[in-house]
Structure 1
Amino acid sequence: MTPKDMLLGLAIIFAWGLNFIAIRWGLDEMTPMMLGGFRFLIIAVIGSFFFSRPKTPWLWIAGYALSLNFGQFAFLFSAMHFGMPAGLASLVLQSQAIFTLLFAVLFLKEYVRPYQLIAISIAAGGLAVIGLNGGNTTMTVLGFALTLAGASSWALGNIFTKTISKKGYDANVNLIIWSCWIPPVPFFLSAYFIDGSDVMWQNITSINWKTAATLAYLSIVATVCGYGLWNYLLSRYPAGTVAPLALGVPVVGLTSAALILNEQISHIQWIGILLVLAGLVLNTLGGRWLTKKSQTSAT
């Protein structure tokens, strides 16, 4: 990647790392499905005045929206509601890099190198350590499983993004804005059947400045800015190269959760965290190491 694109990746890291703090605060005020519905409704209503509808067919927009927007955040918000700490959620969600590589092989026929398979194995082992050793923390098995489901939905959204670009359409901020008209429908329907109409109305009437600030951050910073930059990078580089850039997100997420939310992580889970980070680092930098090695051998 160019230095400019690496800086854009750094901006994504901080926007998404602090995103988990905002989600935690938002879930203190609203139910998961209502928080998700309002997040994307705000983006759609405001953004459509400033960005034109993309030329991408609605079928592809729907696939992108239901996987990246609804699927990822319905699972993630529910996971944090049911006992997934914000810091650990920021890490486990990065298993999207593993799912993205697997989906890229299945759907895009991309080639996975041996070092990437090793990286996947290391990261998967770290996730297993985290998932099996949550007894001494506030993490629940349900929360962990739902976070993995959110990561797989994010990965599927990455595949839709890459496919849209390959078909000659722009996977830019216009796509992000207009795709946000779709997820409020399944979010609010889910809220109706899960929470009930009385709880939905209570969520609406109890909106305060904290809720508004949280929704603003989730909508503008994390979604429009974050995914706008993310899609830009995905349109320029292979999915397997861009996905691991989210490596820095859990560093920001874990640090901010410990400082702001006072979250605690067991010693064994820290081993799992280090394994996941090691796997993601290998997946991110392994290609460069091999290239440098081959160049050195050639000289």
Structure 2
Amino acid sequence: MNSRLTGYFYCTLAMIGVGSTVVASKLIANGLPPFSATALRFAIALPVFIAAMRLTGERWPRLGWRELLLLVVQAGSGSVGYTVFLLNGMALTSATDAGVIAGTMPAVAALVAIFALRERPGVMTLLAVALATAGVFVCTMSAGSGANAQGAAAVHGAANGSSLTGNLFVLAAVFCEGFFILLNKRLRTAVSPLQMSTLMTAIGLVLALIPALFERPWQGSVDRAALAGVVYYALVPTVAGFMLWFAGAARIAGAQASAFTAFVPVSAAALAALVLHERIGAAQWMGMACVLAAVLLIASDGARLRPAGRAAASS
């Protein structure tokens, strides 16, 4: 297998893993409080990242106070905020809807850059943002009418929540990740992907630990499915996903790598149907089609801008 095909394979596996976090989060949300689950996820992943740094010979980067503060805000949004909002959303909505909304990440990141960094987007990027918005709108409006997630709610005991509210929580999680990408562009010191992942995990653990103590998770019963979900989330999408993504992205162009985020809603929907026995409705198919088209437009715009030296930095 040549280097490019290997890159495609690694990026595909990484994005399938990202899609699987939605299903894992559904299991976690039904058995553990959000901050407790987040802290446990980071506590499991951190020793693995530290071991990886020792094996590769990487050291902690030398950062000033401004950059340390920036990293704390990054971890608060992209690590803790994303996970907590996602878990809250998964307690109220279907994994299929959440997967479609999570797939809008490239378009959301572009939207954040337009308003916060005043970047001038290409026509295809604007179309991608419109398509992603349409995809979220279709799923959210369908959820608001009660057409979505009724089967999943009945099976998993989430009937006491509003799917519309859950979708908005998931959308908030995606915007947290978009804010994380924005802040990552403000770092002046070069930080390697492994260093960044280790720092985000360590800071995220500290930030999630105090709210987790107020949740008093030790007073409730232990849900084995939720614990298994946390272990899976920590080791497969977080650690293995990081290694696969950067190993794959190093072998292919950045625009090609971004196109593989299209596997997120697809894998989330497939796993939701297989593992959670959720039914994929017409609105969800329509939303998925809009999101997939948006991802491909973002990737096309990235390929067009690359020769002009405006390739986006990977997060």
| TM-score bin, normalised by smaller chain | 0.7 to 0.9
CA distance in 2, matches of 1:231, 1:29: 32
Code of the residue aligned with 1:215 in structure 2: it is V
Q: Is the 8 A contact 2:100 2:287 kept in 1?
A: no
2:210 aligned residue = 189
Matched residue of 1:182: which SS?
helix
TM-score computed with the length of structure 2 as normaliser: 0.77
Code of the residue aligned with 1:59 in structure 2: it is L
**Please, which of 228, 232, 241 is the counterpart of residue 217 of structure 1?**
232
Matched residue of 1:181: which SS?
helix
Question: 1:211 offset after TM fit, Å?
Answer: 4.6
Code of the residue aligned with 1:206 in structure 2: it is V
Which segments of 5 or more consecutive residues in structure 1 lack a partner in the other structure?
Answer: 292-299
Mark the CA change 1:108 to 1:289 in structure 2 (over 3 Å): closer, same or farther. closer
Mark the CA change 1:98 to 1:241 in structure 2 (over 3 Å): closer, same or farther. farther
CA distance in 2, matches of 1:130, 1:3: 34
CA distance in 1, matches of 2:97, 2:285: 10
Does residue 137 in structure 1 map to residue 148 in structure 2? yes
Correspondences of 1:1-299 after superposition (within 5 Å): 3-51=5-53, 52-56=59-63, 57-81=67-91, 83-108=92-117, 110-134=119-143, 135-138=146-149, 140-164=163-187, 167-193=188-214, 195=215, 197=216, 200-203=217-220, 206=222, 208=224, 210-230=225-245, 233=249, 243-286=258-301
Matched residue of 2:103: which SS?
helix
CA distance in 1, matches of 2:7, 2:137: 32
Q: Is the 8 A contact 2:49 2:194 kept in 1?
A: no
Measured against aligned partners, the alpha-carbon deviations of 1:24-47 in whole angstroms (never above 9, x if no partner) come to: 222333122211111012222453
Measured against aligned partners, the alpha-carbon deviations of 1:208-256 in whole angstroms (never above 9, x if no partner) come to: 4x4553333211221123235556749x976x87555311111011011
Mark the CA change 1:128 to 1:177 in structure 2 (over 3 Å): closer, same or farther. same
How many residue pairs align between the two structures? Answer: 280
Code of the residue aligned with 1:178 in structure 2: it is L
Q: Is the 8 A contact 1:161 1:171 kept in 2?
A: no
Code of the residue aligned with 2:78 in structure 1: it is L
CA distance in 2, matches of 1:168, 1:242: 24
Code of the residue aligned with 1:113 in structure 2: it is G
TM-score computed with the length of structure 1 as normaliser: 0.81
Question: 1:114 offset after TM fit, Å?
Answer: 0.7
Which segments of 5 or more consecutive residues in structure 2 lack a partner in the other structure?
Answer: 54-58, 150-161, 307-315
Mark the CA change 1:147 to 1:34 in structure 2 (over 3 Å): closer, same or farther. same
RMSD (CA atoms): 3.0
Q: Is the 8 A contact 2:100 2:136 kept in 1?
A: no
Code of the residue aligned with 1:115 in structure 2: it is M
Q: Is the 8 A contact 2:15 2:261 kept in 1?
A: yes
Matched residue of 2:12: which SS?
helix
**Sequence identity (%):** 22
Code of the residue aligned with 2:60 in structure 1: it is R
2:311 aligned residue = none
Question: 1:109 offset after TM fit, Å?
Answer: 5.0
Question: 1:287 offset after TM fit, Å?
Answer: 5.5
CA distance in 1, matches of 2:183, 2:256: 16
Matched residue of 1:214: which SS?
helix
Question: 1:159 offset after TM fit, Å?
Answer: 2.3
Question: 1:106 offset after TM fit, Å?
Answer: 4.0
Q: Is the 8 A contact 1:100 1:156 kept in 2?
A: yes
Question: 1:156 offset after TM fit, Å?
Answer: 1.4
Q: Is the 8 A contact 1:130 1:269 kept in 2?
A: yes
Code of the residue aligned with 2:86 in structure 1: it is L
1:294 aligned residue = none
CA distance in 2, matches of 1:31, 1:218: 15
